[in-house]
Amino acid sequence: MDRFFTVEVISQTVNPQQTIYAAMHQDYAEGFVWAERDRFPAEDKSGEVVVKQLLAGNRGHYGPLEHPQITLNCGFFPHSTMQQMRTHRVGISFDVQCLAGDTEVTFLHASGGLRKYKISQLHDLWTNGETAIRNRKIRGRKGEAPGTYRRDCKTRLRKMNLRVLNEDTSLFETGHIQEVFDQGIQPVYRLILEDGRAVDCTENHRLLTHEGWQTMKEAMTLMIDGNGEVINHRQDCFLMTNGVVVGEGLYREKAWLQKHLQAGLTAKEIARLAECSVEAIKNGPIFISSP
């Protein structure tokens, strides 16, 4: 549960009460209050003045309260929480990372085989349940009438092994679904990789690049106009991708790569031993972010 409600402060207004005081004071002062900033009351005293002159005075003008800002990094909260924030927000903006509905995610079966689902399929199953066909003489587990109906399958989906990256070891392992939700209609951009594969995502989706975790907009230095059309972007960006390894050579052997990675070799040193390019190493079965 600690991970489920992760909240961390990224940035905040250093002296919020002084900031409110300055905004309030400017509403009534004849001069330019910026020139008086060295003579502002202390933080606590500014708060007392704000309460007395603005809040307790019932003056009906609360614009100064909007000036302080705080940016929080919230993770793993339920879809219902996000929907409430979106519907009832006042003076709040927030960004969430998204992938397009037809993006495929990979699950690992107990047999060792892989199976891919589109996010739109997972959302449909998560929201509406799976299609169940019953013999006319048999009712469903929850008393559903004979015939075709949708039954809840969240428990089964939560138990499925999702292929995910362990950021500490840079190896692919398995995890489990916490929530599947629809972020609504947003501009989606397609990134075409060198090998022809594509990634469809919003500008806020986080990507693991050779420079660390970045939003797609940051990684691509994406410039868009008011209509969401791309004006300019960079192309010299290497991404960590979960896909099919192509080519031949030592860099395709996971055990060999792991051995040299644990020995502390850099990507360039491993590439030199494997007689291949650094890019081939980075696109192999183990992600190596060192230069």
SS3 of 65-110: the string is: HHCCCEEEEEECCCHHHHHHHHHHCCCCCCCCCCECCCCEEEEECC
Partners of 130 in the β-ladder: 151
| The model's pTM | 0.47
Task: Quote the pLDDT of residue 76.
Answer: 62
Distances from the Cα of 97 to the Cα of 119, 136, 184, angstroms: 14, 45, 12
Which one, of 126, 125, 143, lies nearest residue 134 by Cα?
143
Interstrand relation of 70-75 and 6-12 (parallel, antiparallel or unpaired): antiparallel
Give CA angle at 72 (70, 74), nearest 5°: 160
Q: Within 10 A of 47 (CB to CB), how many other CB atoms are there? A: 18
Tens-binned pLDDT, residue by residue, of the chain (291 aa): 455 567 778 888 888 999 998 888 887 777 888 888 888 899 999 999 888 888 876 665 677 888 888 887 776 665 556 656 655 555 666 555 677 777 888 888 777 677 888 888 888 898 888 888 776 677 777 777 777 888 888 898 988 888 877 767 766 778 888 877 776 777 888 888 877 778 888 888 888 887 777 888 888 888 888 777 888 888 778 877 765 444 455 556 677 777 877 888 777 777 777 666 665 555 555 544 433
Rg of the chain (C-alpha set): 26
Domain boundaries along the sequence of the chain: 6-88, 104-175, 189-232, 250-282
